[in-house]
Amino acid sequence: MSAHHKNTELIKTEAKRLGFLSCGISKAEFLEEEAPRLEKWLQNNMNGEMQYMENHFDKRLDPTKLVEGSKSVISLLLNYYPEEKQVDDTYKISKYAYGQDYHHVIKTKLRQLQEFISEEIGEVNGRAFVDSAPVLDKAWAAKSGLGWIGKNSNLLTQQVGSFYFIAELIIDLELEYDSRVTDHCGTCTACLDACPTQAIVAPYVVDGSKCISYFTIELKEELPSEFHGKFDDWMFGCDVCQDVCPWNRFSKPHQEPLFNPKPELLSMTKKDWEEITEEVFRKVFQKSAVKRTKFSGLTRNIDFLKK
10-33 per-position pLDDT tens digit? 999 999 999 999 999 999 998 888
Which residue among 62, 131, 183, 233 is the active-site one? Answer: 131
At position 91, the amino acid (one-letter code) is Y
What are the C-alpha distances in Å from 121 to residues 2, 61, 174, 227, 253? 13, 28, 12, 53, 33
Instruction: Confirm whether 131 is a catalytic residue.
Output: yes
- Cβ contact 205:225 at 8 Å: no
pLDDT at position 134 is 65
pLDDT tens for each residue of 44-81:
776 666 666 666 667 778 899 888 999 999 999 999 99
β partners of residue 74? 25, 169
- Which stretch of DSSP H or E encloses residue 201? strand 200-202
Mean pLDDT of 220-246: 96
Q: For residue 142, is pLDDT > 70?
A: yes
Q: At what angle do helices 3-17 and 102-120 cross, to 10 degrees?
A: 140
The confidence band for 217, taking pLDDT boundaries of 50, 70 and 90, is: very high
Of 149, 188, 183, whose CA–CA distance to 34 is shortest?
A: 149
∠ Cα 97 100 105 (to 5°): 115
Q: For residue 285, is pLDDT > 90?
A: yes
Of 272, 11, 281, 275, whose CA–CA distance to 126 is shortest?
A: 11
What is the distance between the alpha carbons of residues 42 and 53, in angstroms, rounded to a whole number? 8
Mean pLDDT of 207-224: 92
Q: For residue 270, is pLDDT > 90?
A: yes
Least confident segment among 47-51, 66-70, 190-194, 229-233: 47-51
pLDDT at position 47 is 64
Radius of gyration of the chain (CA): 20
Q: What end-to-end distance do the CA atoms of the chain give, in Å?
A: 65
pLDDT at position 41 is 65
What is the distance between the alpha carbons of residues 24 and 175, in angstroms, rounded to a whole number? 11
pLDDT mean across residues, the chain: 93
Q: For residue 133, is pLDDT > 70?
A: no
